[in-house]
Amino acid sequence: MHQPLSGLRILTLEQYGAGPYGTQLLASLGADVIKIENPSVGGDSARLAGPYFLGDHDSEFFQTFNRGKRSMSLDLKDRGDRRIFDRLVMSADACANNLRGDQAAELKVDYAHLSAVKPDIVCAHLSAYGRQGARMHWPGYDYLMQAEAGLMAMTGEPDTPPTRFGMSMIDYMGGTMMALGLVSAVLGAKRTGRGCDVDVSLFDAALHQLSYSATWFLNEGKCAERLERSAHPSVAPSQLFRTADGWIFVMCQLPKFWGAFCKAVGRPDLLDNPCYADMAARRANRAKLQDELDAFLSTRTTAEWMTVLGGVAPVAPVNSMACALSSPQARHMIETVPHPDKPDGLKMIRDPFRINGAPTPTRRAPKLGEDTRAILDEMLSDSHGDQAAE
């Protein structure tokens, strides 16, 4: 398969989740992602993130974020290793990191330093609070961003403590934004012959996710409220409803879906009720509508309602992770990746790309320094090729 980013080489200095998430997306699309790891500190700290380990300096957590990459052991504070790194930069299109904001300049992996080695290099930085300002030296993590950016205050039921997302979505969104910025800057560098710094901070990414709620607040002074049953702020019914054995999420975002829903569940009379005549009326009478829909939706199971409503109106069952991963709809996203310390292979979620209808190929994440010798041999071969050309 021809992959869209084949021929693109990206060096990374990254740890744990956010940066590795973004560069794994690029590796999945065909980029040669070389993970520079300092062996004196055990490489990426995610290698030691438990509770499930895979041999020496490897874990299921690490495998989740680093498939398709290569690992090279280098200590950038060592003179000899630094010379090797700088030579490697000459063959690269970009150098990405998720270092603390003040560390990229200290390690000389920003554009101010690497442009002397390669003028069209792109330096992509993902930090907690950016590389400028009073907080550039602060460490930071996903949950902190959810808290400070207002997302926790918006999440959960009314009159309960602020609630974080179930997963580290700011890490993942920050990594995705960094990856998009990197590829965009590489396109620009190929056009102009000049690279640049691309900066994304987790805090900025978190604020960006406030989206239309921020627009409403900035212009109308309307602060988002937590609504019962995870309801949409301006659409009804668009929320959780009880069934006989659990919950179902109904989203009648358009008038046609409200009509289709009422007819499918055998309640066309709701369409004639002036309390529910249009979106504004349904929103104003949200509590009354919730009670009415609860009363009859709770008479049948979630599966029964899904049979009635699936493909007719926008609905979804509220599944456990076990149910979600065993559903027919999810099966195409699960793959088994060969791994030397997992005889039956490591089951993983694929990256969500399809190129011409086919999923992108992948391979396990590398052992610490596994590709060092091969990359050094490539560098030596390239050097001989350059001398022959001269």
Cα distances (angstroms) measured from residue 288 to each of 259, 265, 283, 301: 18, 18, 10, 22
User: CA 280, CA 53: separation in Å to the nearest integer?
Assistant: 54
Helix axis angle, 18-28 to 169-192, nearest 10°: 50
- For 23, what's the count of Cα atoms within 13 Å in the CB-facing half-sphere? 35
Which of 2, 232, 339, 384 is catalytic? The answer is 232
For the chain, the straight-line distance linking the first and the last C-alpha, in angstroms and rounded, comes to 34
HSE-up of residue 194 (Cα within 13 Å, Cβ side): 2
Which residue type, as a one-letter code, is found at position 164? Answer: R
Cα separation, 16 vs 28, in Å, equals 18
CA nearest 236: which of 216, 256, 253, 249? 253
339 catalytic, yes or no? no
Q: Are 122 and 179 in contact (CB under 8 A)?
A: no
Tokens of 322: 């076990």
Catalytic residues: 232
